[in-house]
Structures are given as C-alpha cells and as structure tokens.
Structure 1
Amino acid sequence: MSGLIESATAILGASEKRLEVAARNVANVSTPGYKRSSGFSQILASARVGDTVPDIVERKDFMQGKLISSKNPLDLAVNGDGFFQVRAGDQLLYTRQGQFQLAENGAVVSSQGYVLQQAGGGDLVLDNAAVTILDDGAVLDDGRPVARIGLSAPAAGATLTALGESHFAAGGTMEEVADPSIRQGMLESSNVAMGDEMVTMMAAMRQAESGARLVQVYDELMGRALTTLGGAR
C-alpha cells in the first residue's frame, strides 16, 4: 500500500506546482513581453505509481503577443522572431520587453537599468530620445543614421533560461536575426490568456482532490488492517 500514498504525494505535489505557475502567469498578464510557462501535465502523465515527484522544468511559450501602441519613441516591440539584447553589468540577457528610456549618460536602458545593445554589440547611446527607429532597427537622428538595433535568436542547440519575469540567459550561441522587424512606439503585450490559466487552475484543483481521495482511501485501508490485526489477537 506504500505505492498508494506515494502516488497521492506525486499528484498533490504536481498540482501544487501547476497552481504556482498559473498564478505567476496571471500575475504577469500585464507585463510587456512576458511569456507564459506551461508543461506540468505532460510530466505528471508520465509518472508511474511509486515514483518520487520529479523535478519539473517549466516550458516557456514564446508565441507572439499582441502589439499595443504606446506613442513613446523608445518603446519598441519585436514583430516576429528574435529578442533584444541587453547588458546587465557584465552579463548579456535577452528579452522582448521593449520599454526603454534615456539615462543621464545617454544610454538607452530598460526599467531595470539594463542597457540596450546595438547590432554587433556595444551599448546604444543617443543624444536625445527624439529619434526615428526603422523596422530593420536602423536608428535615425534628424534623418542621419547613428546606430542600428539588432535582434538575436538561439542557434541550433542553444537554449534560453528564464531569469525573472521577462529576461533570459542564453545557453549556447545566439545568432543575429537576418531580417529583423521592430516597431517603434509600440509594446508587445504578455501572451497570457486568462481563460487558459483559469482552466489550468481548475484542472490542478481537480488533481489535488483526486490526490486527497487517495490519501483518504489509504487511511481507510490502514484502519481496516489495524482493526483486523487487533481482532485476531
């Protein structure tokens, strides 16, 4: 009967983690560039009775979010493939959260203070925020080209690991997108669908209920066994 309680523990643990991920998705429904997490149901379905709860790796859904106009000239949205490259200290990160502003030193930075990188590398520094950014990432100041913003995508075999809400660290080589598409004065919204997250939460709650019923059955069986053993003396 030990397998019964282990199975219940696995179900309860997986349902709890699914609820945690769904709650995080809901909390970031308004975060620009946020990509929803998923993937718990497949791992739970592959578990066998008696297995311990496996470490569950969250899978990111990189589906394009809707583009929303903001009128801010340094708000940028990726239309299609690719990520902005930003510098956080000595580390390069990748994001589709395109809310940027001009720092005192002229660097174009995110709300976290990460510096937007140019195509080919190097901080993007401007004299003013009144620039025109073309779809291919070219930055024009009074009609004069001054820089170009590139987009990066994982090369074959490379992976992206989520760091915080909307930033990723690259595991492997990142390649520059050959034909980038950037929209100035727009932001990409989160790709979280509230209806989907509510369905996920309800499914996780039903799984938790089934796990609780297994625990109840285990308790009843143990009670009967103890009663039988006690009566046999």
Structure 2
Amino acid sequence: MTRIAIVTGGTRGIGKAISLALKDLGYTVAANYAGNDDKAKAFTEATGIATYKWDVGDHDATLAGVKQVEADLGPIDVVVNNAGITRDAVLHKMSFDDWNEVMRINLGGCFNMAKATFPGMRERKWGRIVNIGSINGQSGQYGQVNYAAAKSGIHGFTKALAQEGAKFGVTVNAIAPGYIDTDMVAAVPEAVLEKIVAKIPVGRLGQAKEIARAVAFLCAEDAGFVTGSTLSLNGGQHMY
C-alpha cells in the first residue's frame, strides 16, 4: 500500500528534505507552500512532487487544500507540520501582529492540519503526524517570545493529541531541531553564527537531511509504539 503524505512548507529547507526523503521511501508526497509560485513550479519539475498552495494558518483554506489533495491523491496517511515563520523582536518592540502571525501559522497551522486529517486517520485506524518544534521552544530564546511560545505549544499539542490517537493507530510525535544549515540560518550575521556554533557540542550546524531521516523513522509502518515523544536533534546544545 502506498501511503499519502502532506508536508507543509515542503518545498524549501527542512521541508524540502523531508518531502524528498519520504518520496525516496515510496510515499506519495504533496508539498504545501504559501508563497513563491515560480519556486514551487521549479520544485515540482525537479522532483516530481506535486505542490499545493494554501496558508496553513487559515482554517478554511487548510480544509479546502487538504480536500483537494485527497481528491487528487487519496486519503492522507501522514502529515508533517513543518511550515513556520519568524517575526523576531524583544517584547517591548514586538507588535501584536508579529505575535499573532507567528502563533497563527506556527501553532495554528498544526491545529488546522490536524482538524483536516486526524478524523480520517482515526476512522481508518492508521496515521502518522509529525510536528516540527524547535530547540527554542524547549529552552527559550531572547527576542523570540512569539516563536518560542508557538514552538513550545507544539510540544504540548503533540502530547495531548497523541493520547487521543493512540488507540486508533495514529501516532503523534514532534521533532525539535537545533540550528540547521538552511536559508533562515544562513541569513544570520557571520559573527553571530560563529557564537551559535561555538555552543553546539558537535561543533557544527545540523543538516536538513538529518531532520528528514528522523521524520522518516517516525512515519514508518513499524514506528507504531512511538507516540507523544519529542525527539531533540540539536548536536547536544540542549539536553533535558
């Protein structure tokens, strides 16, 4: 049986690596994106993975987007909630819009995607949901009260939904990446990046493919006894 997977934010960075890893393992993958149509088209042409555009923070758009994927590909077995944004600022300079937009997309997107797919997984007695959290949701980070709160919320969301899905064969897990060599991290000033790497015991940034391998494990047929867990992939930077 070919499993159908949706990866949100699945055309760039960590999401792209996840989409490709699942495809290589035989999943039929739909990659969600929110912005650049030209890049999404190029991604599909290069990988053969279908792309679907909607804002995961928009509840109605998410329901409609998932419905379209199911019409095109079939019932959704696997969801990877990877889509996320940053709007960094210290609290006294952070606008409500900066707070709300991060919460709406990063945490609200997980709720919206689960609402669209979890009932079907429950009925079919099989499903895998993997939510991408963050080291900063575990440890906190200066200038990121919105991002840290949203990512921390993802970890709690994961534990609660895992309890609802367990007896129906639906596992819900999270991955908390540390600093990964993506475009987002590449935008950090070199002097700041050097300080970040100096705090990582393994002495380097992580690679997107390392996150993708962990996602693939959690989505596997034989990973049914792993649920409600958060797997930290941060090079030893934060342990708890």
TM-score by length of 2: 0.21
Greater strand share, structure number: 1
Name the larger-Rg structure: 1
TM-score by length of 1: 0.21
Greater helix share, structure number: 2
